[in-house]
Amino acid sequence: MKNIKRLLYRTGSLGLSVIFLPILFIFSAVARLKQADRNKPRLVWGSTAIINNSYWSRAMVKAGFNSETYTGDFFSTINKRQDWDRILPEEFPHVWWPIKPYFAFLTSLFRYDVFFLSFNGFFIGNTILRSCQAFLLKLADKKIIVIPYGSDSYVYRNIRSVGLLHGLLMSYPAASMQQERILRDVQYWVKHAHAVLPGFMGPDGFGRWDALIPSQFMIDLQIWEASKRNSPSKGDNEDVVIVHAPNHRGFKGTEFITQAVDQLRMQGLRVKLLLLEKIQNDEVRRILQEEADILVEQIIFTGHAMNGLEGMASGLPTISNLEDENYLMPMRRWSYFEECPLVSATPENLIDVLGKLVTRPELRKQLGRAGREYVEKYHGYD
């Protein structure tokens, strides 16, 4: 029965694609002719609901652009509806749901000029028309910027770090059986996008980056304020609070982080571990600004992600893995990463690194201040 349903779904999707292809072709050509003369292009960030899309779009709005997010939906467990501009369930209320992605793609040809995508594409990336997306967008004279986020683009056999590969297999084993599909999408957009910005992921088989930047993430420094907690504890008279967000446990090395905290307790240090999982972003922000002394972002992947910026923006000493120079050498040599004050740790030395931070409150304060200055210089909306 399940196979029959899958066959019917695929047959229906094929039929819709066949119907919409000539329509999309015609409307792309019309959209090109309808280009308005404007000083600034209109921007769209989508269609996958990655929170960075929201941050990027807000940054560009503050810069004076007409910019908005347009996503298939959003993750209500960690984000709120007000984080997003347009979501597909609220669009075209009288249109049959399977047709909505085609309508979203079609109408966007007239609404936007620059499309910021992941390797998932823009709304029709999982249809038979996925290989027509770039042609249709370019026919309409649109620009395409591709920024990956992880599961859209990690081709496991192309990853340089065996430790990272194992962490991904622990957290996302199913993706190992979708490598051909993911590789197909990566190769397609690497070939057809006007720009590809993979950040720290760049060495892992993309073969292209158009701006050598360690991280493409932005953060709103008006709401992410530096913590005023500044606990003087050396792990003796009161708890030093260590925070970790274990949303990808294998990928982030959560098991080693919990073991390290247990070992510090056995050594007689007063430490408390807070695991932040499946909670709203504003609650994460409150905890980092009011309760935390140290953030351990992750200790497997070389580099940092959004949570690392959140920790530094909150004025916390922030720990990430910086061990593999295959990833970091070009960032240090040709970009600004040499200035980054992240504290490097691996599963093998995390106990020592945490021990030094727990027992040295002045060092925590200095690193927290340096992290805040780094984010202000390179990752604020301005």
One-letter-per-residue 3-state SS of 322-335: CCCHHHHHHHHHHC
Residues whose CB falls within 8 Å of the CB of residue 255, separated by 6 or more in sequence, listed in order: 249
CATH top-level class of 240-378: alpha beta
Evaluate if residue 283 carries a pLDDT over 70. yes
The per-residue pLDDT for 35 is: 66
Beta bridge partners of 94: none
Evaluate if residue 293 carries a pLDDT over 50. yes
Q: Which of 34-43, 76-85, 204-213, 341-350 has the highest mean pLDDT?
A: 341-350
**Phi and psi dihedrals of 182, rounded to 5?**
-65, -45
pLDDT band at 9 (very low <50, low <70, confident <90, very high): very low
Q: By C-alpha distance, which of 42, 33, 68, 65 is closest to 54? A: 68
The per-residue pLDDT for 30 is: 81
Beta bridge partners of 219: 380
Q: Is the dihedral of CA 283, 284, 288, 292 positive or negative?
A: positive
Decide: 164 and 300 in contact? Cβ < 8 Å.
yes
The per-residue pLDDT for 59 is: 93
Q: By C-alpha distance, which of 58, 67, 52, 188 is closest to 120? A: 188
105: left (phi over 0), alpha (psi -120 to 50) or beta: alpha
Evaluate if residue 61 carries a pLDDT over 90. yes
- Consecutive H or E run containing 222: none
Evaluate if residue 291 carries a pLDDT over 60. yes
- Consecutive H or E run containing 133: helix 133-139
CA 381 to chain centre: 16
Residue with tokens 């003369």: 37
- Please give the average per-residue pLDDT across 266-284, as a whole number: 93
The per-residue pLDDT for 19 is: 78
* 137-196: pLDDT as tens digits: 999 999 999 999 999 999 999 999 999 999 999 999 999 999 999 999 999 999 999 999
* 322-361: pLDDT as tens digits: 999 999 999 999 999 999 999 999 999 999 999 999 999 9
Chain-wide mean pLDDT for the chain?
92
Q: Spell out a b/e string for 236-246, using b for 16 or more CB atoms within 10 Å of the CB, else e.
A: eeeebbbbbbb
Query: Looking at the whole model, is its pTM more than 0.75?
Result: yes
pLDDT band at 4 (very low <50, low <70, confident <90, very high): very low
- Please give the average per-residue pLDDT across 299-316, as a whole number: 96
Whole-number percent of the chain with pLDDT over 90:
80
CATH 3.40.50.2000 intervals, the chain: 240-378
Whether a cis peptide bond, with omega within 30° of 0, leads into 17 is no
Separation of alpha carbons 266 and 34, rounded Å = 70
For 197, counting Cβ atoms within 10 Å of its Cβ (0-12 exposed, 13-18 middle, 19+ buried), the class is buried
The per-residue pLDDT for 224 is: 95
- Please give the average per-residue pLDDT across 1-22, as a whole number: 57
Evaluate if residue 100 carries a pLDDT over 90. yes
Evaluate if residue 36 carries a pLDDT over 90. no
The per-residue pLDDT for 38 is: 65
pLDDT band at 8 (very low <50, low <70, confident <90, very high): very low
